Each structure stands twice: as C-alpha cells, then as structure tokens.
Amino acid sequence: MLDLKFVRNNPELVQEALQKRGVDITLSEFQEVDARRRELIQEVEQLKSQRNKVSQEVAAKKKAGEDAGEIIAEMKAVSQKIKELDDEVKGLEQRLQEILLGIPNIPHDSVPVGKDDSDNLEVRTWGEPTRFSFDPKPHWEIGEDLDILSFAQGAKITGARFTVYRGLGARLERAVINFMLDLHTREHGYKEIFPPFIVNSDSMIGTGQLPKFAADMFKLEGLDYYLIPTAEVPVTNLHREEILPGEELPIYYAAYSGCFRAEAGAAGRDTRGLIRQHQFNKVELVKFTRPEDSYAELEKLTNNAERVLQLLELPYRVVTLCTGDLGFSSAKTYDIEVWLPSYQAYKEISSCSNFEDFQARRAQIRYRPHPKAKAEYVHTLNGSGLAVGRTVAAILENYQQEDGTVAVPRVLQPYMGGVKVIGK
C-alpha cells in the first residue's frame, strides 16, 4: 500500500497514477476520513492527557490519606468520553486502511502509458521463432501421444485444469525444477528456500493478494489458511515485521513451490494443455534491496530468468508492461514470453516486478541504512525463474521432431539420467 502521508500530501499525483492505470477511484472519501480522524485524535489525546494527570493526583492523595472521591467521579465521565472517541477513531482508521489497501502502486516513470496488453512495449527478443519442416503439434497432443501427460486422468481424480504427469513427463518436470534451482543458487547467488505451500491471511495481505483478490485464491475451509498462488507470498513474508541490518542487503532467495490458483476470471482462456492450471510448479526469485538499488536489481533479476531460456535454447522476448496491464502491487514489470508454436505467439512464462516499498510497507519489512539510522522500508522484487509447466510445454513444442518424439535440451540431459529423446 501507499504511505498514508504520501497520499495525503500528493493527492494529484496519486490521482494521476490511478488514471494512467485506468482505475476508477477518487480520493475524496480518503480525504474526508483522514481529516476527521486527525481532528478526533487531537480531541481524545487532550482528554487522555488530562486523565493521566488526574490519575497521578489520585495516587498522591491516596498516599497522603486524603479523600479523592470527587475527582474520581469527575474522571469517570472523562473516561467514558474517551472510550466513545476511541471507538470512533478506530472505525475511521479501519476505513482508511481499507481505502489504502485498495489503491494500487504508482507506476515508475519508465513505464509506458497504455490501456491493455496490446500497448506493452517489446524490449528485446532472443532467438528466432522455431521453424518446422513438418506440421508441428500442440504440446497437449504431444504429451498424450507419448503418454507423458494425461489430462483425462487429471480431470477424473480432481477436475478441469488439473494434469497428471507420467513417466518421462514427470521426470522432465522434475528435471526442469532442479535445473532452474541449481542455476540460480550456484551461478546467480540466490539462497534456496523451500516454503510452506499454505499461508495465513496476514501473509496474503503482506504481498497484496488480499483483500482485493480473494476470489482468485483457494482458501481452506473453516481456517485462516490459503494455498499459495506463488512462492512470492511465503518467501517475501519471511521477513515480515522485521528490521534487517543494512549490511545484509541485498538478499536473494530462490524457491520452488507448487502454486494454486482459482483464477475466477479466467474461464474459457487457455483451456487446453498446461498453460493455465489450478495447480502448477514454479521456481520463484525474490529480492530484498535498498531503495536506490532496486531498478538495477530488477534488470539483473530479469536477466537471471532469461538465462534459463537461453540455456534451454528456447526463443523468447521481453516486454515492459504498460500502465494498464501492470499488476496491482507492481511499480514496473517485465514479462518474459516464450515462443509457443501452438499459439503461433509468444506466451508469458515469467513476470519480473519491482514493488518498490509497496509490499514492504504492508508487510512491515524494513532495514537500517546505518547502525544508528532510522529504519526505512526495503524494496521488494520478484520474478518467476520460471513457471515450470509452461517451460515443459515450450520444450515439448519447440523440441518436437517429425517422428513424434521430443529431443531433450542438452542442459537437461544430466537431469534426465542421460535420456536424450523422449519417445514411446
């Protein structure tokens, strides 16, 4: 969320940012509630100050053996009034909090202004879209033909948008996970984390999934627990309500996790194959940085994710999301899109974002620039490094061969026990 004082002091700037995002929120209620709250606080604090003073007097009188009945009776009324005002202030603060939690982050100046994904800006491409001398198949057909993916079994044992990986398919999924984790931990300097896949609502609020996007999450019945939609949630919340020593920054974490998404609004999109599932695997990269470093760190993080595709030799491009397509909590996002022959298009496989202090403020993650200095909010970043299911889909499609088999990318062969080709 944005800083209360920042919103108070820069309403035009916030309003402008909301407009660029195409979000329809006005700040008039915020301003009313904020002003009323401050007014009441001054009133109630004056009363509390009085009460504190008189309470001292009561203590003194009692000690001296004098009667304090009169002023005690007087304070009874004051205390009653304080209680009433406190309740009112609390109500206003709750409302203020709600309003603030509903305001998205302010896009960075370098983010292009635009309406939707058609206005996203292509930054660079790597490789060429794969060409075939035969008629290529979509990955869901390849997977079923080779008996390494079963959508029917997934649908039977659970439901739509669940998939069973079989044999070398299961092995390939696991190989991709291990390859990515090894790359990021050994070569890119990330510390490996294996988090819980279930978190409480405080964590979901900390990273911005709640309260706005409850409908996209799976909640455990009768409990304050949610299945994580991404490892970003548990990993970023690792340092919730902490003040980190400045010398520990930047912190890099890489985490594998299952990801669970209800995706309330996605019905009818990407209905076939591995692209949009209720459960999928992902290796996530998370960074905590000093504010002045966060944009340089975003470039590095994006490059780290790209490296996976380069080593897998999968063609891709990088786009900067425009203001209208930017995620709620993000100030700037690069999407990495891999070439998918079945879509005849680039398809998102990673999303790398700088949240600046937006998540840090919600989650109360701070650091001390110097041992004596006042604590400030860190900047948090994260990006997929990468989405595993989509990577497998991209491998199957881009590495398919005319005889129906699929070649295994060279870097994955050691992770596949030396298997070079997935065949029948």
Q: Which residues are catalytic?
A: 261, 276, 348, 351, 390
Quick one: CA dihedral 146, 152, 157, 159, positive or negative? positive
Tokens 């891709």 belong to 316
Minimum CB distance to RNA, residue 334 (Å): 29
The neighbouring-strand residues paired with 288 are: 251, 380
Ranges within 71-130 binding RNA (CB under 7 A): 72, 75-76, 78-79, 83, 90
- 27 near RNA, rule: CB under 7 A: no
The neighbouring-strand residues paired with 254 are: 192, 285
Interface with RNA (CB under 7 A), residue from 12, 28, 52, 133:
52
Minimum CB distance to RNA, residue 234 (Å): 15
Tell me the one-letter amino acid at 110: S
- 19 near RNA, rule: CB under 7 A: no
CB 244, CB 380: distance < 8 Å: no
CA dist 163 and 169 (Å) reads: 11
Minimum CB distance to RNA, residue 405 (Å): 38
CA dist 184 and 194 (Å) reads: 14
Interface with RNA (CB under 7 A), residue from 23, 41, 101, 244:
41
Instruction: Supply angle C-alpha 368, 373, 379, rounded to 5.
Output: 35
Q: Pick the closer one to RNA by CB: 237 or 400.
A: 237
Quick one: CA dihedral 271, 274, 280, 283, positive or negative? negative
Tell me the one-letter amino acid at 389: G
Contacts of 232 (CB under 8 A, 6+ apart): 207, 284, 286, 382
Phi, psi for 84 (deg, rounded to 5): -60, -50
DSSP character string of 90-115:
HHHHHHHHHHHHTSPPPPPTTSPP-S
Among the listed ranges 38-46, 105-113, 139-147, 399-407, the one in contact with RNA (CB under 7 A) is 38-46
Interface with RNA (CB under 7 A), residue from 4, 262, 311, 421:
4
Minimum CB distance to RNA, residue 374 (Å): 6
As given in the structure block, the two tokens for residue 293 are 């470093």
Of the candidates 392, 412, 160, the one whose C-alpha atom is nearest the C-alpha of residue 282 is 392
- 375 near RNA, rule: CB under 7 A: yes
Tell me the one-letter amino acid at 128: E
Q: Pick the closer one to RNA by CB: 92 or 283.
A: 92
Alpha carbons within 13 angstroms on the beta-carbon side of residue 233 total: 26
How many C-beta atoms lie closer than 10 Å to residue 16's C-beta? Answer: 12
CB 338, CB 394: distance < 8 Å: yes
Minimum CB distance to RNA, residue 275 (Å): 32
Q: Pick the closer one to RNA by CB: 75 or 305.
A: 75
- 62 near RNA, rule: CB under 7 A: yes
- 5 near RNA, rule: CB under 7 A: yes
Q: Pick the closer one to RNA by CB: 142 or 227.
A: 227
Interface with RNA (CB under 7 A), residue from 28, 42, 118, 133:
42
Residue 424, judged by CB atoms within 10 A of its CB (0-12, 13-18, 19+), counts as exposed
Q: Pick the closer one to RNA by CB: 23 or 78.
A: 78
The neighbouring-strand residues paired with 367 are: 244, 376
Ranges within 212-251 binding RNA (CB under 7 A): 243
Interface with RNA (CB under 7 A), residue from 36, 51, 95, 219:
51
Please tell me the count of residues contacting RNA according to CB under 7 A: 31
Interface with RNA (CB under 7 A), residue from 46, 94, 97, 158:
46
Minimum CB distance to RNA, residue 60 (Å): 8
Q: Pick the closer one to RNA by CB: 79 or 178.
A: 79
Minimum CB distance to RNA, residue 78 (Å): 7
CB 114, CB 29: distance < 8 Å: no
Interface with RNA (CB under 7 A), residue from 23, 25, 54, 244:
54
CA dist 420 and 63 (Å) reads: 89
Paired sense of beta strands 198-200 and 121-126, if any: unpaired
- 48 near RNA, rule: CB under 7 A: yes
- 55 near RNA, rule: CB under 7 A: yes
Q: Pick the closer one to RNA by CB: 76 or 424.
A: 76
- 131 near RNA, rule: CB under 7 A: no
- 201 near RNA, rule: CB under 7 A: no
Q: Pick the closer one to RNA by CB: 150 or 364.
A: 364
Q: Pick the closer one to RNA by CB: 152 or 223.
A: 223
Contact residues for RNA (CB under 7 A)? 4-5, 38, 41-42, 45-46, 48-49, 51-56, 58-59, 62, 68, 72, 75-76, 78-79, 83, 90, 243, 371-372, 374-375
